[in-house]
Each structure stands twice: as C-alpha cells, then as structure tokens.
C-alpha cells in the first residue's frame, strides 16, 4: 500500500487517466474529487460490499427450488380423513377463538 500525504488543493495521479484531488479538509473528514474515464468504475468500498451482499442474497440455489417443488407435489390434495368424516356425518367442528381479540 502506498501512503501519501496531501494538502487541500493537491492531487494524486493514478496511471494515465485517474486524478484524485483533495477539495477540502474539515477535521477528520476529507472531501475528494475524482477524475476518471467513464470506463473506470468509481465507488466506495461500503457500497460495493452491500451490492455484493444483495446479489448473493438474491441468488436462489437451484437445489432449493427443486426441493421445494418436490415437497409441494407431495402434499395431499384431499382434506384429511377426519375432516372428511366430520363433513359426511354432520359433526360439529369446534371453532378456534382467539380470546385476545374479544373485548369485555
């Protein structure tokens, strides 16, 4: 790693086409201007890290999608036997009531 000290108004040249100029210094914060050809991508390390994490999270493993498809195909299409028997016999199926929603 090359370490250089620069004052406000001074610049650093990288190769033939990139110039980094120190525009202002305010305490511990430095404002830089970067002149580079359009073919050179200029971004902060933090933004690049977030971009890579987003791309990685968006990738769906092929095996996972196939496994999910197989699980969905294996699900029964008919109601469970107990529900079918209750419907035929006219049994009353108890209703689940959430008491937290009831107002007294």
23 within 8 A of 7, measured Cβ to Cβ: no
Domain span including residue 19: 11-59
66 lies in some domain? no
Give the residue among 37, 27, 32, 26 at the shortest CA–CA distance from 4: 32
pTM assigned to the model = 0.50
Question: What is the per-residue pLDDT across 15-33, written as a single tens digit (0 to 9) for each?
Answer: 989 999 999 999 999 999 9
Residue 45: per-residue pLDDT: 93
Read off the pLDDT of residues 66-104 as tens digits, 9 standing for 90 and up: 778 888 888 777 666 666 666 666 666 666 556 565 555
Number of domains into which the chain is organized: 1
Cβ neighbour number for residue 19 with a 10 Å cutoff: 13
Q: What is the pLDDT of residue 68?
A: 80
Instruction: Determine, yes or no, domain membership for 95.
Output: no
Residue 6 lies in a domain: no
Q: Note whether residue 32 is domain-resident.
A: yes
Element (H, E) at 32: strand 29-35
Which range has the worst mean pLDDT, 19-23, 38-42, 50-54, 76-80?
76-80
∠78-83-87 over CA atoms, to 5°? Answer: 105
């Amino acid at each position: 790693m090359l370490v250089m000290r620069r004052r406000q108004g001074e610049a650093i040249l990288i190769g033939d086409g990139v110039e980094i100029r120190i525009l202002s210094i305010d305490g511990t914060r430095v404002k830089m201007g970067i002149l580079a050809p359009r073919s050179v991508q200029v971004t902060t390390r933090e933004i690049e890290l977030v971009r890579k994490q987003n791309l990685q999270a968006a990738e769906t493993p092929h095996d996972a999608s196939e496994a999910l498809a197989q699980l969905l195909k294996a699900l029964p299409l008919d109601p469970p036997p107990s529900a079918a028997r209750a419907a035929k016999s006219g049994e009353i199926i108890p209703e689940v009531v959430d008491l937290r929603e009831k107002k007294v």
